[in-house]
Structure 1
């Protein structure tokens, strides 16, 4: 145990950062640093035994089945063009307003995020539908791409969220409570984006146009195409929030509902099923590998005492609760500008969670907070992945203009994150009210 010091933990962090910035796979980098670090600190035999215990304990967790089921639900919904139907319904109700298609894009991203749980997938699928329509209607390309790139991040926050499932497993906290806690932040985040659009189109009217007002008949027909999706999403989220069903049960219900919806629409083909199973297994395997690596790394950090030392250092600064949380936010935003979102969560949670808990806040609050910071990383120039995803959709728009378009939304993200720090009840009130 001679090497079980905070300094050795810090060396491990630096090596991990070097591997990640050098292009190493997240799961492999976390696992290698964690396993080698444990071998040095505890000895090779103890490190292998500890790793085996972590492996068995993780893979036998009941809640781990939540992730593949929600992924399967999302891929089945891909096969029935759910993103197109959600955007079309929102456009029928909002398209006649100034900037209406931008509002519809945000609503479509929120709706699709609720069945998908991925920022990148939400940006890509909604972008393929919404951007051509906004371009055809004469929207400024900065507003169009910025709205979709920012709106896509809602996929990480609005439950069921893959990021929150991963955090729940890493932090050993309730996934259902995390989902409940994410509802108000997700809604307020979407409202902030809508407010940005509202301000922009009144400040600079040339950025957007107004469309024809859809008749109520057209609106009801558009709603009729998504009623099954709405019912499934409401059942899943409300069931978890009210405590009627567990997240794993909700995921099973959601998957069965998606299969039934596809069958009713006559789109449950062999190819659709094969693709859904293939993509679900591929993504699940990747995330499980990352989880195992992250848990090994977390054990290594715990053994070295780095998290305790970091907490004592922050406490010695005497910044107070708000000052400490702002410092944590700055660290996350700095790392988030160079690291992948999942890498950011898995790298920082073992170190920053004890610091946050020392301020009196809970792991539930931190899970929403770090997910929010991850979302900002997705749209933070120059490395925000959503910006490059939307460039792949809008090939006629330069990345510089996309950067300019997302800046107003990025500013609203900073304000929203600050409000979560100043008013933790935004996150904690609903779970406490519902007794989650």
Structure 2
């Protein structure tokens, strides 16, 4: 056990970062470093046995079924053009106002995020619908691309969120509590984006001209195409928040409800169903591989004692809760500009979670905090995956213009993250009130 030191763990983290920057898949890199570190400390046979125990223990966890069911719900909704219907309903209601389509894009991203849970998919699907319409109406390319790229990050925060499910499994924290805790931060995040649009439009009215007012008949028809989706989402989130159903039961409700809605819309074909199954299996397999690798890596970090040592070192500095969390946020934002979102979460959780708990924060609060920081990484140069996805949608707009357009929203993200640090009740009030 002479290698069971914090120095060994830091070397492992360095190797992991090098592998990730070299383009090695996240799950493979995490698993290789974790297994190699365990073999060095415990011996090859013990490392394989421990990794096997982690694999079997994870596969037999009941809550693991939550993720593929929610993913299946999302892929079924893809087949019924849910993103188009959600954006169209918002555009019909408020599209006639200055900046109305930008507000509608944020609302569409928030609505689609509740049934999808992926920032990249939300940006791509809403962007394909919203950007051409905003361009046709004469919106500035910086505002339209920035709004959609930033709004896409709502997919990770607003439940059900794949990132929160993964965090709940890694941190052995209630997924129901995480979903409930994400509701207020998710709503306030969307309101912050709307406030940015409001300020930009007031300062420069020419970037978002007003459009034609849709008749009430068209508005009602647009709402009629999304009411059943809204009802299903309300039942899922409401059921989890009130504790009437578990996240796994809610996921089953969502998958069944999506099939019923697709059937009622006469879009549930054999081809669409098999496509939904195939995409669900592909995405679930990828996430499970990442999850298994992360758990093995976390076991390696635990054996070295790095997390405990880091927590003790921070405690000895006596910086106080707020200062400690601000330092963690700065580290996450720095790494988030270089690493993929899930890589950031899976790399830092085993090390930072004990530090946050030492500072007096719960695992549920930290889950929202790190997810929020991870979201900022999606729109933070130079990596900013949402920005490149948006460029793939708006091929006529340079990446520099997209970077420029997202800056005001990025500033609001920093303020929002700081408020979560200063006022933890933003995260914990609702779970405490509902007693989950």
Scaled by the length of structure 2, the TM-score of the pair is 1.00
Q: Following the alignment from structure 2 to structure 1, what is the Cα–Cα distance between the partners of residues 317 and 428?
A: 27
TM-superposition CA deviations, 1:6-47 (whole Å, max 9, x none):
000111000000000110000000000000100000111111
Q: CA deviation at 1:370?
A: 0.3
Q: CA deviation at 1:65?
A: 0.1
Q: CA deviation at 1:414?
A: 0.1
Q: Following the alignment from structure 1 to structure 2, what is the Cα–Cα distance between the partners of residues 311 and 173?
A: 19
Q: Following the alignment from structure 2 to structure 1, what is the Cα–Cα distance between the partners of residues 390 and 250?
A: 31
Judge conservation of contact 2:156–2:163 (CA < 8 Å) in 1: yes
Q: CA deviation at 1:166?
A: 0.2
Superposition RMSD on alpha carbons, in Å?
0.5
- Matches of residues 110-259 of structure 1 in structure 2 within 5 Å? 110-259=110-259
Judge conservation of contact 2:176–2:240 (CA < 8 Å) in 1: yes
Question: What secondary structure does 1:211 align onto?
Answer: coil
Q: Following the alignment from structure 1 to structure 2, what is the Cα–Cα distance between the partners of residues 337 and 144?
A: 22
1:386 aligns with 2:379: no
Q: CA deviation at 1:314?
A: 1.4
Q: CA deviation at 1:216?
A: 1.6
Q: Following the alignment from structure 1 to structure 2, what is the Cα–Cα distance between the partners of residues 420 and 67?
A: 26
2:284 aligns with: 284
Q: CA deviation at 1:49?
A: 1.2
TM-superposition CA deviations, 1:106-144 (whole Å, max 9, x none):
000000000000000000000000000000000000000
Question: What secondary structure does 1:213 align onto?
Answer: coil
Question: What secondary structure does 2:286 align onto?
Answer: helix
1:369 aligns with: 369
2:310 aligns with: 310
Q: CA deviation at 1:94?
A: 0.6
Q: Following the alignment from structure 1 to structure 2, what is the Cα–Cα distance between the partners of residues 215 and 267?
A: 28
Q: Following the alignment from structure 1 to structure 2, what is the Cα–Cα distance between the partners of residues 21 and 363?
A: 29
1:399 aligns with 2:399: yes
Q: Following the alignment from structure 1 to structure 2, what is the Cα–Cα distance between the partners of residues 317 and 368?
A: 25
Question: What secondary structure does 1:338 align onto?
Answer: coil
Judge conservation of contact 2:315–2:359 (CA < 8 Å) in 1: no
The structure 1 segments of at least 4 consecutive aligned residues displaced by more than 4 Å after TM superposition are none
Question: What secondary structure does 1:214 align onto?
Answer: coil
Q: CA deviation at 1:317?
A: 2.0
Q: Following the alignment from structure 1 to structure 2, what is the Cα–Cα distance between the partners of residues 183 and 285?
A: 28
TM-superposition CA deviations, 1:279-306 (whole Å, max 9, x none):
0000000111110000000000000001
Q: Following the alignment from structure 1 to structure 2, what is the Cα–Cα distance between the partners of residues 315 and 164?
A: 27
Q: CA deviation at 1:214?
A: 1.3
1:420 aligns with 2:417: no
1:430 aligns with: 430
1:298 aligns with: 298
Q: CA deviation at 1:316?
A: 2.3
For structure 1, the residue ranges without an aligned partner over 5 or more in a row are: none
Q: Following the alignment from structure 1 to structure 2, what is the Cα–Cα distance between the partners of residues 199 and 160?
A: 30
For structure 2, the residue ranges without an aligned partner over 5 or more in a row are: none
Q: CA deviation at 1:311?
A: 1.1
Across the two proteins, how many residue pairs are aligned to each other?
Answer: 436
